[in-house]
Structure 1
Amino acid sequence: MPKETANHKQKTLLTTGQTIPLNIKRLGINGEGVGFYKRTVIFVPGALPGEEIIAQIEKVYPNRAEAVVKRIKKKSHDRVVPPCPLYDECGGCQLQHLSYEGQLKEKQDVVRQAFERYTKIKTENLPLRPTIGMKNPWEYRNKSQLQVAKDKEKVIAGLYGINSHRIIDLDQCSVQHPETVRVTNAVKRILEDLNIPVYHEKTRKGIIRTIVVRTGFETGETQLVLVTTQEKIPRKELLIAEIQKRIPGIKSIVQNVNDKKTSIIFGEKTIPLEGPETIGEKLGSLSFELSARAFFQLNPQQTVKLYDEAKKAAKLTGKEKVVDAYCGTGTIGLWLAPDAAEIRGMDVIEESILNAKENAKRHGFTNTQYETGKAEDILPKWLKEGWKPDVIVVDPPRTGCDQAFLKTVGKIKPKRMVYVSCNPSTLAKDVHMLISHGFEVENLTPVDMFPQTSHVEVVCTLVQKIEK
């Protein structure tokens, strides 16, 4: 073996507890600052691009390390004081220490990074637009899902703290609609006063495991969902009566049973306790009925902007057959329906499909069809039956589209595909595959659906590549 020379490059060996100087180059997909020490990438939560810091190594991995900020030598001009007193504990927001203008800029960069990493599109050829933001980036979330626990005799509800299984009690939240906070706090006190057993994660004993509250921004209607480990709730009638007495204005009270050891919030069984099973919400001129488990965007104000971007991207003339894959309650498809010849949607949650059908009927749309099932199963079935779409719109979960579905899209070769994504990394991976099927990216528009957090939504428009 040849001897190592003085200029032979090796990765620097880092050790836990070691302090190092670090220049922060960019933000990572989870909102952490990213810097390089010698040839090792270092992730530092709370650090911002442009900052010079002293970092302390917390964890070392073969290809990266994680660190914390010990001291900031040079601050970013975009650094601000987080307004939330629980910001350092909660973990629900990752970017309250970054000015809103800075958040929009960095979220655009996160999308750029994803496409640089997972596609072969050159940066100078990436049609990436500025991030569409909010005028008031606070109190925008219409739904809260908070885990319930006991702290001595006190009932608490909140999120797990950063890197822990300790629940941080959220008596206030600057990104939640105030009504969801008010209702949750009142329910905690009622559970406490009636001594109704709450779920203990380790022992798996207790009944109430999650408090879910959704409020219609436009309608003002509120639904409370109590997620329980069993169907029977002690003093159920008294519980319902106290909720109605102490929290006036709740339209719908629902129970959902989830007896599994899982991090998934909802179980399969939903039981109405008081009032209708749905609440109403409006997006623009459309109104929707939402059941407890039905997916609906968490930021209605930005959803209108998001769907308008999707509509522009689809370029409908009234003659197109459109697929609304992963359709949820049919929101995007119904947004497009007035300008399409036909909309067909599918989703795996039966309640969502029922809501989609009801929503379409309520608005008088006769050019819509919805089926329960997986997109990767239903789209090939429609194709086999001789129905071929001109435009495909997808809004999949964070894991992205199923590969079998993408292969079918590649065979169909629609004129346009509008991919709405909540995860730039899986979007870029799926786009890379679609490019191999003859598509090219026409434009990318980030939309800030979740201010103060690291998340960013993207509307990606793909078209069939024209051979030159």
Structure 2
Amino acid sequence: MTKENETIIKVNQQFPLTIKRLGINGEGVGYFKKKVVFVPGALPGEEVVVEVVKVHPKFSEAIVKKVRKRSPFRVKAPCPVYEQCGGCQLQHLRYDQQLNEKRDILLQAFERHTKFNVEDLDIRETIGMEDPWKYRNKSQFQLREMNGRIVAGLYSLNSHRLISVPECIVQHPATNKVNNAIKQIFEDFKVPVFNEKTKKGIVKTIVTRVGVQTGQVQVVIVTAGEKLPRKEMIAEEIKKRLPEVVSVMQNINPRQTSLVFGEKTLNITGKEFIDEKMNEFTYELSARAFFQLNPEQTVKLYDEVKKATALTGKEKIVDAYCGSGTIGLWLSDGAAEIRGMDIIPESIEDAKKNALKHGIQNAKYETGKAEDILPKWLKQGWSPDVIIVDPPRTGCDSKFLQTLLKIKPKKFIYVSCNPSTLAKDLQAISHMYEVKYIQPLDMFPQTAHVESCSLLVRKEK
């Protein structure tokens, strides 16, 4: 086809479309005259009429105007603000089919970003939840003043329009209760909410985390500056109305950024952490410490990591991007030694405390980047048999992957929350490591997020 008669798609154009798959963000994917069209809310197998809202060089975005043929897996989303909020993407898809589609999202990532023959890859069935609701142990709700009332919620997808979410059905009930009570306390104490346009006001965000097994709740009040008038009185009122809140912290974030937390955290009242239990382990979680948002699925995830390591008691293990040391501690009874690192000092302090509390003497933790610390240990004559990573959505740092290839552990276990960066990272080390299998897990039901645990083994030359 020549450029002269090539199909041009225009904004506001309407046309019929058959949806082939789900995209990585949970949107329907169809092809109009060989051009990719992304349609939020449309499901695989559906025939829809769409209207184009944006045109990009390689794809277009459209909205559903009419569903001509419905998917047999389409259900009514139970959340009243589902379509406005943007926090969930798949409530309108029956849960068992969500699990199938998440496996396919992983498959697509490897098709798009790697040279692997995907038919040869062992991508297993997604491990789901019996009850895929009320699972999130932490909420981060932005605040805004509207018509004299304080509203807490989430930004609508790709916008800065705040959607009020008084009752989020994927959040643990304790976080909903605490958020609503604190909003009322802020109103009662006339606490000024930060206004992004005028740059006036104080409180930006309420972060609430619950220890699901312990019932303990921590509240972090994120402010634009250090000033928080009558904060001791506010904290006392929180404790009076919400006895389950055992920790009230203030985090200062003066920057205009998508990051919720700033660098400085102050204790207002109570403990500086809450406790959470998983199996025989109790973890101390401070305000900025990373901890998985779905404890029930986290147990399954860590058991998958344990299965992949297949420890005999002799192995030296590195837990990179270790957070508060949760994965390493899970494996400690089967390893000769665990060493972990993370760039957040508070996380490393939590990891040390957690190891000490459980009498685990074969664990060592250090603040810093894995790509800096691993070569130092190697020079000291210490090399690991297994390296485990659980990096952020951006994936592994390229320097870390280069370091991995120099150190050459027998096994590399990659816990991923982003199929695209997982695929790219595994492609980068594929000349030295063989992908034995990839096990997807559903850590975030009703959303398009896919967690996975991949086992890689060093190739024998």
Normalising by structure 1, we get a TM-score of 0.97
C-alpha distance in 2 between matches for 1:193 and 1:389: 56
Tell me, what secondary structure is at the counterpart of 1:197? coil
Indicate which of 99, 107, 114 corresponds to 2:102. 107
Tell me the C-alpha RMSD between the 2 structures.
Answer: 1.2
Q: What residue is the counterpart of 2:43 in the other structure? A: 48
1:150 aligns with 2:149: no
C-alpha distance in 2 between matches for 1:11 and 1:165: 36
CA apart distance, 1:162: 2.2
C-alpha distance in 2 between matches for 1:94 and 1:35: 17
Judging changes above 3 Å, is the alpha-carbon distance between structure 1 residues 118 and 241 closer, same or farther for their aligned structure 2 residues? same
CA apart distance, 1:327: 0.1
1:444 aligns with 2:438: yes
C-alpha distance in 2 between matches for 1:9 and 1:261: 46
Q: What residue is the counterpart of 1:296 in the other structure? A: 291
C-alpha distance in 2 between matches for 1:371 and 1:255: 26
C-alpha distance in 1 between matches for 2:7 and 2:96: 36
C-alpha distance in 1 between matches for 2:94 and 2:384: 43
1:325 aligns with 2:313: no
Question: What is the CA deviation profile of residues 165-214 of structure 1, one whole-angstrom value per residue up to 9, with x for unaligned ones?
Answer: 11111100010000000000011011111111111112221111110100
Q: What residue is the counterpart of 1:167 in the other structure? A: 162
The answer to whether the 8 A contact 2:232-2:269 is kept is: no
Indicate which of 245, 249, 253 corresponds to 2:240. 245
C-alpha distance in 2 between matches for 1:23 and 1:78: 16
Q: What residue is the counterpart of 1:405 in the other structure? A: 400
The answer to whether the 8 A contact 1:314-1:418 is kept is: yes
Tell me, what secondary structure is at the counterpart of 2:333? helix
Worse-superposed segment, 155-164 or 176-185: 155-164
CA apart distance, 1:248: 2.4
The answer to whether the 8 A contact 1:11-1:40 is kept is: no
Q: What residue is the counterpart of 1:457 in the other structure? A: 451
Question: What is the CA deviation profile of residues 353-396 of structure 1, one whole-angstrom value per residue up to 9, with x for unaligned ones?
Answer: 00000000011111000000111111121112221100000000
1:379 aligns with 2:337: no
Tell me, what secondary structure is at the counterpart of 1:435? coil
Normalising by structure 2, we get a TM-score of 0.98
**What does 1:24-423 correspond to in 2, within 5 Å?**
24-423=19-418
Q: Count the aligned residue pairs.
A: 461
The answer to whether the 8 A contact 2:225-2:252 is kept is: yes
C-alpha distance in 1 between matches for 2:292 and 2:304: 15
The answer to whether the 8 A contact 1:11-1:39 is kept is: no
Unpaired segments ≥5 residues, structure 1: none
C-alpha distance in 2 between matches for 1:148 and 1:157: 5
For 1:214, give the aligned amino acid.
Answer: R
The answer to whether the 8 A contact 1:417-1:463 is kept is: yes
Question: What is the CA deviation profile of residues 276-335 of structure 1, one whole-angstrom value per residue up to 9, with x for unaligned ones?
Answer: 101000111111000000000000000000000011111111100000000000000101
Tell me, what secondary structure is at the counterpart of 1:381? helix
C-alpha distance in 1 between matches for 2:196 and 2:295: 33
For 1:12, give the aligned amino acid.
Answer: T
The answer to whether the 8 A contact 2:232-2:268 is kept is: no
C-alpha distance in 1 between matches for 2:397 and 2:157: 31
Unpaired segments ≥5 residues, structure 2: none
Worse-superposed segment, 200-209 or 299-308: 200-209
For 1:313, give the aligned amino acid.
Answer: A
CA apart distance, 1:164: 1.8
CA apart distance, 1:413: 1.3
C-alpha distance in 1 between matches for 2:459 and 2:29: 35
CA apart distance, 1:254: 0.8
Tell me, what secondary structure is at the counterpart of 1:344? strand
CA apart distance, 1:399: 0.4
Question: What is the CA deviation profile of residues 203-250 of structure 1, one whole-angstrom value per residue up to 9, with x for unaligned ones?
Answer: 221111110100011001111110111222112232122212222221
Question: What is the CA deviation profile of residues 235-279 of structure 1, one whole-angstrom value per residue up to 9, with x for unaligned ones?
Answer: 223212221222222111111111112111111111111111010
Tell me, what secondary structure is at the counterpart of 2:430? helix
C-alpha distance in 2 between matches for 1:137 and 1:43: 26
Tell me, what secondary structure is at the counterpart of 1:188? helix
**What does 1:419-430 correspond to in 2, within 5 Å?**
419-430=414-425
The answer to whether the 8 A contact 1:11-1:38 is kept is: no
C-alpha distance in 1 between matches for 2:385 and 2:360: 19
